Amino acid sequence: MKVLVAMSGGVDSSVAAALMQREGHHVVGVTMRLWGGESDTGCCSVSDVDDARRVAQQLGIDHLVFNFTEDFQEKVVDPYVQSHATGVTPNPCIECNRSLKFSRLTERADALGFDAVVTGHHARLVRNAQGEMRVHRGGDAAKDQSYVVHMLTGRELERTLFPVGHMTKTEVRCVAAELGLRTATKPDSQDVCFISTTGGRETFLGHRIPFHAGRVVDTDGHEVGKVDAVELVTIGQRRGIGLYKTEAKRFVVDVDADSHTVIVGTEADLQRTGLALHDMVWAGGAPEAGRYRVQCSAHGKSLPCSVEVVDADRVQVTLDEPHRRIAPGQSAVLFDDTDSYVVAGGLVSAASAWPVSVGATA
């Protein structure tokens, strides 16, 4: 089989390439050049590209570089900036996986005659009794990445391989060490690739959108402070709103970008019993109401819930127990009620969360 391995310069993708080669496949590595600007974090730095190239040399496989910078700007960076301008908190890594690392890469692989696309994600692909492929939890619970690849469906699933998905991170590093790969001890990337450590989110956004000062009000509408930039505030935030050293802990419970208003409240005011999701992607079959578990961050715990289907694009999620409000724009992924495999995923809607008690801002 001829496989195209997405090599980010990290240990997981390095070992994924090595395992496919060990199985006797014709392996070609590829690194996607996504961000053309300053980068010293994430998976798009010059050193990452160099690490991927050198690992390919160590393995004796060809290494390609695909320039997807225009696609990345259009599909990931521009929406990220626009989301902040409208008071929404985006998840750019999810959008990068959706639009570039799988969709765009699979298109290119098809054009070049590859049989499959391979990545180093910690998730497993398992065929169910009906013969349909599903994304299952990875073998290492602490490194599981099924949440960030929840958007894979249909033909993409059939054309994708996750060779390290059944392994623990320790096992991956052991294989890399045995092979003498230069990435064996390389730390995992944690940050958004186009946000530099020197400038940060404030500098990045400040060069692209105007910031607006805003009022900070409590849940009764009384003004209690001000912020320099509403665009930099998100749900659940405590620092950066001028109230961190106050006697009572206050958190952001809502952001109204149109009126330049930030609403703060107590931990109790932040609690919600449900959320609405839109732009749903279903793993297969018709949308179905029922009992699921919902995960709202890459490394967050899944929560038991009931789901009501509004239509194929929208659902209402009711949690068994109250939970902190999830910021609009974040991805929420539905797993089956045993928390084993992905059923669907969508984006948290702006006016989606209903409070536990009267008085909390929705």
For residue 117, how far is the Cα from the chain centroid?
19
CB 62 within 8 A of CB 186: no
Best mean pLDDT range from 39-53, 159-173, 277-291: 159-173
Q: Which two tokens stand for residue 86?
A: 């409208």
* List 43, 44, 93, 96, catalytic entry: 96
Does residue 279 carry a pLDDT above 80?
Answer: yes
Strand segments (E) across the chain = 2-6, 26-33, 62-67, 116-118, 123-127, 133-137, 160-161, 214-217, 223-227, 251-256, 261-265, 271-282, 290-295, 303-311, 314-324, 331-335, 342-348
Residue 229 CA to residue 217 CA, distance in Å, equals: 15
Confidence band, pLDDT 50/70/90 cuts, at residue 362: very low
State whether the Cα torsion 188-194-195-201 is positive or negative. Answer: negative
Counting residues of the chain whose pLDDT is more than 70, the rounded percentage is 92
Structural domains for the chain: 2-179 (3.40.50.620), 210-265 (2.30.30.280), 270-348 (2.40.30.10)
Average pLDDT, rounded, for the chain: 91
Give the whole-angstrom CA distance, residue 330 versus residue 327: 6
Residue 343 neighbours by CB under 8 Å, 6+ apart: 282, 283, 292, 334, 335, 336
Per-residue pLDDT at 360 exceeds 50: no
Mean pLDDT calculated for residue range 324-348: 96
In the structure, what pLDDT confidence band is assigned to residue 359 with cuts at 50, 70 and 90? very low
Q: Is 96 a catalytic residue?
A: yes
Q: Pinpoint the alpha helices (H) of the chain.
A: 11-22, 46-59, 69-72, 78-85, 92-96, 105-111, 154-158, 169-179, 200-206, 267-270
pLDDT of residue 357: 42
Write down the pLDDT at residue 285: 74
Residue from 43, 44, 93, 193 carrying the catalytic annotation: 193
305 annotated active-site? no
- The model's pTM: 0.91
